[in-house]
Amino acid sequence: MSIATRQLSIGIALVLGTLSAVVVAQPRQAPGQTSVSVGVTGLNQFNTRIVDSGSFNWWDASANVNVTRQVTSAFSAGVSARYNYQKWSWSGLDGQAPWTSINTPALGMNFGFSPSPEWRLGFAPTIEWSGETGTGTGGTATYGAVMSVARTFSKDLTLGVGAGVFRQIDQTKVFPYLLVNWSITDKLRLSNPLPAGPSGGAGLELSYAFNDRWTLGGGGAYRSYRFRLNENSPVANGIGQNSFVPVFARLSYAIDRTSRIDLYAAATTAGRLSATDSSGTTQFSTNYQTGFAMALSFSKRF
């Protein structure tokens, strides 16, 4: 899986974490070599019915940059920065929209170490500030790290495990996940489409490369993210949360060896929205029906 593909996957799943889940799957660079990648993504969640009553829709825009340097043949280190903006619209809630827009800047680092050609260890701390417009940064921080270990069994198969530990504003979240990079054939691959981070693990995707330009894939994961609400929210200074399981299809086109465009179509299943007040009491909680989303993303590496 290319760096570009991993970045594009961020948009469809609203991942706000680091790239540690896929550090072990990257080709090792020559010592002293530095790679830079940038990406922009736009996403639209179409009108989705709330189980109780009402509906919502939202759109998302994000931009990211990642810099990684192969310090020695065994050790690499990198930094990343990302900014994400979501705009939500609601109907049928008597004007009591739980939240409107969410800003999430994020900073991360990633470290990779190979004690031998077969083994790869990864460690990626990250911090993000996620809050409704008007909250500032106070009380919006999510921070933690993802750790991983993987073994390359052959040029076609790398397997591993990882774990993430994050403090999501006022809640500690721990999750394990599997690392998979398996070239089943020259064209068919099973791999992790998403980076592991504060929102969840890396998921799984099965993809088929028609040729050097076109790839079709499909997969899924579990996502859950939290954000601080502002003082004008119906749940003033509380915490909002969106949890769902995205099941997606991806059509990718490689413009050249370093540039890529991905188009995603996704069903957001098992969705749940909630808002808790400053004392931890749940003031708003509802499931939502399966929704439909589309995303378009471009990325380039240097």
Say how far apart CA 177 and CA 158 lie, in whole Å.
Answer: 14
DSSP assignment of 135-147 equals --STT-EEEEEEE
For residue 9, name the pLDDT band (cuts at 50, 70, 90).
Answer: very low
**Cα 157 from Cα 93, distance rounded (Å):** 50
Q: Which DSSP state fits 22? A: G
Q: Are 217 and 207 in contact (CB under 8 A)?
A: yes
Give the CA radius of gyration of the chain.
19
Question: What pLDDT shows up at residue 137?
Answer: 85
- Dihedral of the CA atoms 66, 70, 71, 73 (nearest 10)? 160
Handedness of CA 177, 37, 45, 214 (dihedral sign): negative
Give tens-digit pLDDT for 130-171.
999 999 888 999 999 999 999 999 999 999 999 999 999 988
**Residue 20 CB coordination number (10 Å):** 29
First and final CA of the chain: distance in angstroms?
17
| Burial class of 256 by CB neighbour count within 10 A (0 to 12, 13 to 18, 19+) | exposed
Mapped onto helix, strand or coil, the DSSP state of residue 81 is strand
User: Is residue 205's pLDDT more than 50?
Assistant: yes
pLDDT over 70 for what percent of the chain?
Answer: 90
- Calculate the average pLDDT of the chain: 88
Q: Decide yes or no: CATH 3.40.1370.10 for domain 3-301.
A: no
Strand-pairing partners, residue 127, are: 107, 143
**What is the C-alpha to C-alpha distance for residues 185 and 187, in angstroms, rounded to an integer?**
5
| CB crowding 150-159: b at 16 or more within 10 Å, else e | bebeeeeebe
- Given a contact cutoff of 8 angstroms between Cβ atoms, the answer to whether 289 and 253 are in contact is no
- The 10 Å Cβ neighbour count of residue 215 is 21
Least confident of 1-15, 108-122, 213-227: 1-15
